[in-house]
Amino acid sequence: MTPSQTTGRCTLVGAGPGDPELLTLKALKAIEAATVLLVDDLVSDAILALAPPGARVVYVGKRGGCRSTAQADIEALMVEAVRAGETVVRLKGGDPFIFGRGGEEVQHLRAIGIEPQVVNGITAGLAGITALGAPLTHRRHAQGVIFITGHNQPASDATDWPLLGATARDARLTLVIYMGIASCAHIQQGLLAALPAHTPAAVIQHASLPHQRHAVTTLGALQETIEREGLASPSVIVIGDVVRGVTAVAQGATA
Residues with a catalytic annotation lie at 40, 62, 179
101: phi > 0 → left, psi -120 to 50 → alpha, else beta; which?
left
Could you tell me how far CA 229 lies from the centroid of its own chain? 22
Other C-beta atoms lying within 10 Å of the C-beta of residue 36: 23
Give the three-class secondary structure for 235.
Answer: strand
**Farthest-apart Cα atoms in the chain, separation:** 59
Instruction: Specify the long-range contacts of residues 152-158, CB closer than 8 Å, at least 24 apart.
Output: none
d(CA 232, CA 127): 17
Could you tell me how far CA 133 lies from the centroid of its own chain? 19
- The answer to whether 60 and 12 have CB atoms below 8 angstroms apart is no
d(CA 204, CA 215): 7
- The answer to whether 240 and 142 have CB atoms below 8 angstroms apart is yes
